Amino acid sequence: MNIHVKRVAGQWTCVAAALFCMQTANAQQILSSSFDSGATSIPAGLCAWNASGPTVSGALVTGWEDNSCWKDASGATIAYALDTSTRYTGAASLSIKSTNVTPQLTAPFTMKSGKTYSATVYLRASKSQEVVVQLRLSGPPYTAYGVASKTIGIFWTPVTVTADAPLTASNVAAGLFILPKTPGNIWLDSASITESTAINAITRTGHSVTRSFFGTHTHRDLRWPDLGNALGADRMWDGEGIQMRDIFPTSDLSKANWTKFEARIARAQQNGADLIMTLGGNIPTWASADAAGQSPNCSLYGPGSSAPPVSRTVWKDMVSAVVKKANGRIKYWEIWNEPYVCAMFNVRRPTDYTKYLVDLSYDAYNIIKTNNKSLTVLSPTLYTYKLDFVDEFLGLGGGRYADVIAIHAYDEYINQHLVGTGGSGAPNGPEMLFIKEHGVLNLKHILARHNLSAKPIWNTESGYLASSTPGGQPDDAKGAPYVARHLLLSSLAGLDRSYYYSWDLRGKVVALGRELDGEGSNNYTKTAAGVAFETMAKWLTGTTIKAVSTPAADGQPWVVTLLRATTGTTELIVWNPAGNDMVYTVPTGLAFSASLSGGKTGVSAGTATTINGWPQLLTSY
C-alpha cells in the first residue's frame, strides 16, 4: 500500500435546482491503497473474545482492519489475501473470501468538522452480488453519512461515495467500510479517500414559504385540526377508514368502502388544503404477499399489511380504483409508506423485493399519469438514517417514477442517532439533524449521484414519538419549541414541505391536539405544541427567507432574517439551540418580540433581551 498526499485546485460544484452548492478547496488524498505489497498476517484468534464469532485469517495491508468479530457466526470463515492474478491496477488486489457470514472491512480515519470526504474503490466478484460502501462512524450510533450500494460482477466496477462530516464535534472516529451483502469472493483494489474543505450552503435562502408547506396527519378527529388557517396540507396516512386495507376489505373491489375517503376529501376542500394519498404500506391481508404475517415488521397494521402485494395485477387494480374514485380531487399520490421497515423490501434474493418496489412505483406512476397528467407522484418514503436503502432503490431506477422525493425526517433527539447525545437527549436536536449532522445534505449527495437533484424533497412525516418524549411521558409543552424549530429548519435545509405526525395521536407523544375529556372522547383541543406549530406557520407563511446565521460555536444565537411580502418589512427569528437563557442585543429598527405562545412585548433597539430554546419573532410593528 502506498500512502501519499496530493493537492488539487479548488473548484465549485453546483447541483441542479440550486438547492446547494459546494466549494471544494485544498483537496488532499488521505488514503491511497493499491494493495501491491506490505501485507501483515492477521493474528491467530483475532475473534477469540467472541465464542460464537467467525474465524478470520490471512493478511491485510497497513491501514485496513477486519470488523467482523462481533458477528455471531460460529463456524463461518473470512480469509484475506493479496492476489496477484486478479487486480485492477498495480501488482495485486485484496481478495476477500467468506463462508456463512458477510464480512466487514474498514479503513479507519478521522472525520473533521467542516470537511467533505469522497471515497472511491474498485470492486469485482466471482459472481453477481451487492456490496455497500459507507463513510460512517466507527462507534455508536454508527451513523452512515455517505452510502453507495452497487451490484458487482466479474468485471471491475468503481464505486464512489461522498459525505459531509458532522459539525457536532471537531473530530470523530470514522471509517471507509466495505460491506458485502452475501458471503462469497470479492476483490478490492485502488481505494482512496479524499478530504477537502467544503463551504456548503447547508441552509437555503432566497425562497418563499407558502401555506402549503405546513401539513399534518389526522387519525380519528372528524373535524379539521384547530390550527387556525396555518394548515395548508393533509397527509391521509394512518387516518381511520381511508387506508387501502379499510377501503378494500375483500378482493371484490366493487364492494369498496368509500365513506370516510369521501369525507376526508370534502373536509380538505372545505378548508382550502391539498391532500396526499399514500397507496401502499397498509394493504389488505388478502392482497399481501405475506398474508400469514411471517416476515418481520411487515404486519404493522394486521397480517401482511406492510408487505409487498401478492401480485402487480392486484396492486394495479387497487391503485386504479382509488385514483379513479378521487377523480382529480387528490393532487398528490405517495407510492408507499416506509418500505424500508418491512424486512421483505430489504431482501434482494431469491426474490428482489427492492426491485419489486421499483416495479410497483412504475405501475402506480403510469396509472396516475394516465388518469391525469397534472397529478403529482411522490416516491416511496425514504429515511435519512437508512441511506443504504435509499441508494439501492434509486440505483434500480426508482427515482424515475416520482415527481417528488418523499422522506421521513424524525430527528429523534432522545435516541442515539446523533453524535454526542449520550442517550440522554440533545437540546439542539432539530439543528443536529438538519444542519450539524447534514441529514438532508448527505441525502442530496446520493440524489446527485443518480441525477435526481432537480426533484423537490418533501418531508411527509416527522414528529416526536414515545422514544423521543422525556421520561417516557407525554409532554406537549416541552416539545413545543422542537416542533416549531423542526418546521423552520426543514425549510432552511431545502425541504419543500413538512407534515407533522400528528394532530390527534394518543399516548406518549408530542401531539398538536389532545382530547379534553380523556382518550376516547374525540373532543380535541390544541396543545402547547399545536400553538407553537400554528405560530411558526404564521410567522413563515408569506415571507422570503433572506439570510441565516448558524454559528459554529455553541452558546451563540441562531438568527433567521425574513422579508414579509405584505408589509415589506424585515423581521428576525432568534433562538438559542442549547436551550438556556442568553442575552441578545436587539438590532436597529425592531421594536417588538412575539412569542410562540402568541404574546407580544415591546423591546428597544440596541438593548439586551433574553432568548432561549423557544424562538422569538422580532418585528418593527
> For the purposes of burial, counting CB atoms within 10 Å of the CB of 350, is it exposed (0-12), middle (13-18) or buried (19 or more)?
exposed
Q: What is the pLDDT of residue 553?
A: 67
For the chain, what percent of residues have pLDDT higher than 90? 75
The helix/strand/coil state of 284 is coil
| Axis-axis angle for helices 312-326, 353-371 (nearest 10) | 30
Is 160 strand, coil or helix?
strand
Return d(Cα 82, Cα 92) in angstroms, integer. Answer: 6
Is it true that domain 28-198 has CATH number 2.60.120.260? yes
pLDDT, one tens digit per residue, over 490-522 is 999 999 999 999 999 888 778 999 998 877 888
Confidence of residue 316 (pLDDT cuts 50, 70, 90): very high
pLDDT at 468: 54
Residue 410 has pLDDT above 50, yes or no: yes
For residues 419-451, one letter each, b for 16 or more C-beta atoms within 10 angstroms of the residue's C-beta and e for the rest, the string is bebeeeebbbbbbbbbbbbbbbbbbbbbbbbbe
How confident is residue 415, by pLDDT bands cut at 50, 70 and 90? very low
- The DSSP-derived string for 526-563 is E-HHHHHHHHHHHHHTTEEEEEEE--SSTTS-EEEEEE
| Residue 278 pLDDT > 90 | yes
Given a cut of 60, whether residue 3 has pLDDT beyond it is no
List all residues 6 or more positions away from 471 whose beta carbon is below 8 Å from its beta carbon: none
Rounded average pLDDT over 575-595: 93
Contacts of 378 (CB under 8 A, 6+ apart): 276, 332, 333, 334, 335, 402, 403, 404, 405, 406, 458, 460
- Rounded to 5 degrees, φ, ψ at 150 are -140, 135
* Strand, coil or helix: 38: coil
What global pTM score does this model have? Answer: 0.90
Q: Is residue 19 predicted with pLDDT exceeding 50?
A: no
Which phi and psi (to 5°) does residue 298 adopt? -115, 10
pLDDT at 466: 56
* 600 touches 620 (CB < 8 A): no
467 pLDDT exceeds 70? no
Rg for the chain, CA atoms, rounded: 26
Question: For the purposes of burial, counting CB atoms within 10 Å of the CB of 255, is it exposed (0-12), middle (13-18) or buried (19 or more)?
Answer: exposed
pLDDT band at 1 (very low <50, low <70, confident <90, very high): very low
Closest CA to 546 of 280, 206, 247: 206
Average pLDDT over residues 607-611: 94
Give the contacts of 321 (CB within 8 A, at least 6 positions apart). Answer: 248, 253, 256
pLDDT bracket for residue 431 (50, 70, 90):
confident
Distance between CA atoms of residues 493 and 483, nearest Å: 15
Longest CA span, the chain: 78
Residue 15 is predicted with a pLDDT of 30
Reported as a pLDDT band with limits 50, 70 and 90, residue 303 is very high
Given a contact cutoff of 8 angstroms between Cβ atoms, the answer to whether 433 and 168 are in contact is: no
Helix (H) or strand (E) holding 333: strand 332-336
Range among 8-22, 152-166, 507-521 rated most confident: 152-166
Instruction: Report in angstroms the alpha-carbon separations of 298 from 82, 349, 505.
Output: 42, 17, 22
Question: Is residue 418's pLDDT more than 50?
Answer: no
Q: CB within 8 A of 373, min separation 6: which ones?
A: none
What does the block give as the cell for 270? Answer: 372545505
Q: Model confidence at 14, in pLDDT bands (50, 70, 90)?
A: very low
| Mean pLDDT of the region 319-345 | 97
Q: What is the mean predicted confidence (pLDDT) over 396-415?
A: 86
Residue 10 has pLDDT above 80, yes or no: no
Model pLDDT, residue 551: 76
Lowest mean pLDDT of 48-62, 282-296, 378-392, 454-468, name the range: 454-468
| pLDDT beyond 70 at 21 | no
3-state SS, residue 587:
coil
Mean pLDDT score of the chain: 89
pLDDT tens-digit profile of 31-58? 888 898 889 999 999 999 999 999 999 9
So what's the pLDDT on residue 508? 75
Q: What is the CATH number that goes with domain 546-619?
A: 2.60.40
SS3 of 410, please? coil
Q: pLDDT tens digits, residue range 69-93?
A: 999 999 999 999 999 999 999 999 9
Beta-carbon count within 10 A of 4 CB: 9
User: Is it the case that residue 101 has pLDDT exceeding 90?
Assistant: yes
C-alpha cell, 340: 424500508
Rounded CA-CA distance 549/558 in Å is: 6
Q: Compute the average pLDDT of residues 397-422.
A: 72
Q: What is the pLDDT of residue 17?
A: 28
Fold annotation for 207-541: TIM Barrel (3.20.20)
Q: Please tell me the predicted confidence (pLDDT) of residue 412.
A: 62
Q: Hey, where are the domains in the chain?
A: 28-198, 207-541, 546-619
SS3 435: helix
Band (30; pLDDT cuts 50, 70, 90): confident
Q: Which residue has the cell 436587539?
A: 586
DSSP string, 51-115: TTPPEEEEEEETT-EE--TTS--TT-EEEEEEESSS-SSSS-EEEEEEESS---EEEEEEEETTE
Nearest of 214, 216, 227, 233 to residue 530 by alpha carbon = 227
